[in-house]
Amino acid sequence: MKPIHIVTASVLGLLALPAFAAAQNKNKKSAEATVDFARDIKPILESACINCHGPDEQEGDVRLDTWAALQEEGDTGPILTPGDAEDSSIYWTTDLPDDDDLVMPPKKADRLSEKQQELIKTWVNEGAHWPKQISQLKEVPRMRFDVNIKPLLVKGGPFSDKELYQLRLWVEQGAEWPEGTTLGGEQAAADGGGGGKDMELVNKIREKIIAETKITSEDKMEEYTAAIPDYPNVEYTMVPIKGGTFTMGSPDSESDRNEDEGPQVEIEIKPFWMGKHEVTWDEYIKFMLPELPRNKDGTLASPKDDATIVELVGRPTEPYQEMSFGMGQDGYPAICMTQHAANKYCEWLSAQTGHFYRLPTEAEWEYACRAGTDTAYSFGDDPSKLDDYAWYFANSDFQYQQVGQKKPNPWGLHDMHGNVIEWTLDQYAPDQYATLGNGPITGPWLKSTTPYPHVARGGSWDDDPQDLRSAVRRQSHENWKQQDPQLPKSI
């Protein structure tokens, strides 16, 4: 039941986007840190090191499963010297020649990749931040592509719980894909289907966007209405959102406040455009029901040499059943897609139009929703005014309504409160605000590491007033995809 707002970035936003991944500023982590312990380091240590350097066994008198253990010395000297990777055996032992007696891990088949070594080196040199909420690491199986993962990808879904666990571990451990490996044969890869062509496609989309970009500064940003090129009768409107700072979250004094809405933190947001209202079925169904036959991984079944960028974008396989619950599609918001499907829709729209579209981060969404206000709603604190601005339980007649019928917020955005809940780009963490530290923080984004939970915002036609407040956060659950089973059925 969770639809999406589309957000696009100007050239300023597009160029700044890669920095979002480093903007989480957890606890006392350096503001310049680019490696996140939980996301990048923990999976490496748990899968490659803890079996020999954990609570039960400490080869070389080295233990790596707790922060306290890292402060000790092993047989070869300091285990960890924050700021100096070359003096830290946790790093330099992984960078030794294969025939060195001290190289770690000792078995050649278990050695870390260059990317994994570089992550550990960078983490140490950036100060070796270990989040206080992680008390101890635990051993997990190490996923090897040829043995554990390739057979699953060749077989395809649906996957068992055990297989999903293996795929999740593989992703968390870096999703290593041996160079030259394909799943569909050499010809399929050459034609753009299957087997490792995703980055080539993304680069083509990026080149098209750069070639067609005309807006280069915030003062040139204006509202615009555009049509999807292959479907000229399908239009959407984007509203410019100027950059600025705001206070994210709710104060302790706000009525019906939830614990995960704080502590409040000052956030700096760069300029972007945002959809004037939720994405409608008119727009989304063109992506959801492609005319050309697709494999179960979303790629073209029979790609041709002259296939367009848009044709090559992964798109859904057919849903199990009609997804609107019979509530209407003409001018109504699209619902029931997974967050992954929403992201792929943005990629498809980017390929279609030559503009860069993506989901908004959680911070961008709240900034746009508040529209310069600091009250419970963008129109104030009085929920009795909701009827003018939102569809919710008391006035929706038990279903969603056509977009844009209620008053917009001060920045011209409709249905930010109610009607349908909207996806954001962020992974959900109940204590995310506490990890950001002192503001202002620029463009925070909690990068996804697992399919669930993600953050959804805005409340729905079936919610009560307190659930439509600007600060309310909602975490997704896998049962949301019962209408849109695109993951793992389709990538």
Tell me which residue of 326, 358, 331 sits closest to 342, measured CA to CA. 358
Q: How many CA atoms lie within 13 A of 221 on its CB side?
A: 20
Order of strands across the sheet that contains 422-427: 422-427, 454-457, 474-475
Average pLDDT, whole number, for the chain?
85
- pLDDT at residue 31, as a whole number: 47
Who has greater pLDDT, 381 or 157? 381
- pLDDT at residue 155, as a whole number: 76
- Counting beta carbons within 10 angstroms of the beta carbon of residue 320, is it exposed (0 to 12), middle (13 to 18) or buried (19 or more)? exposed
pLDDT at 25 over 60: no
Which residue in this structure is represented by tokens 């999903």?
A: 164
pTM: 0.63
What's the pLDDT band for 13 if we cut at 50, 70, 90?
Answer: very low
Cα–Cα distance for residue pair 468/258, rounded to 1 Å: 12
- pLDDT at residue 186, as a whole number: 36
Cα–Cα distance for residue pair 205/344, rounded to 1 Å: 13
pLDDT, mean of residues 31-60: 86
Which helix or strand (DSSP H or E) is residue 201 part of? helix 198-212
Structure tokens at 86: 């070359």
Tell me which residue of 343, 398, 353 sits closest to 224, measured CA to CA. 353
Please, what's the largest Cα pairwise distance for the chain?
74
pLDDT at 325 over 80: yes
Cα–Cα distance for residue pair 121/230, rounded to 1 Å: 48
What's the pLDDT band for 231 if we cut at 50, 70, 90?
Answer: confident
What's the pLDDT band for 127 if we cut at 50, 70, 90?
Answer: very high
What's the pLDDT band for 380 if we cut at 50, 70, 90?
Answer: very high
Peptide bond into 408 cis (omega under 30): no
Under a CB-based contact definition with an 8 Å cutoff, are residues 332 and 304 in contact? no
**What interhelical angle do 339-353 and 198-212 show, nearest 10?**
50
pLDDT at 425 over 50: yes
- pLDDT at residue 270, as a whole number: 93
Tell me which residue of 111, 94, 115 sits closest to 175, measured CA to CA. 115
Tell me which residue of 467, 16, 455, 25 sits closest to 265, measured CA to CA. 25
What's the pLDDT band for 109 if we cut at 50, 70, 90?
Answer: confident
- Which one of 161-175, 288-302, 460-474 scores highest in mean pLDDT? 460-474
Structure tokens at 340: 């992954």
pLDDT at 358 over 50: yes
Give me the helices (H) in 198-308, please: 198-212, 281-288
pLDDT, mean of residues 136-160: 85
Give me the helices (H) in 428-477, please: 432-435
Pairing of strands 244-248, 265-269: antiparallel
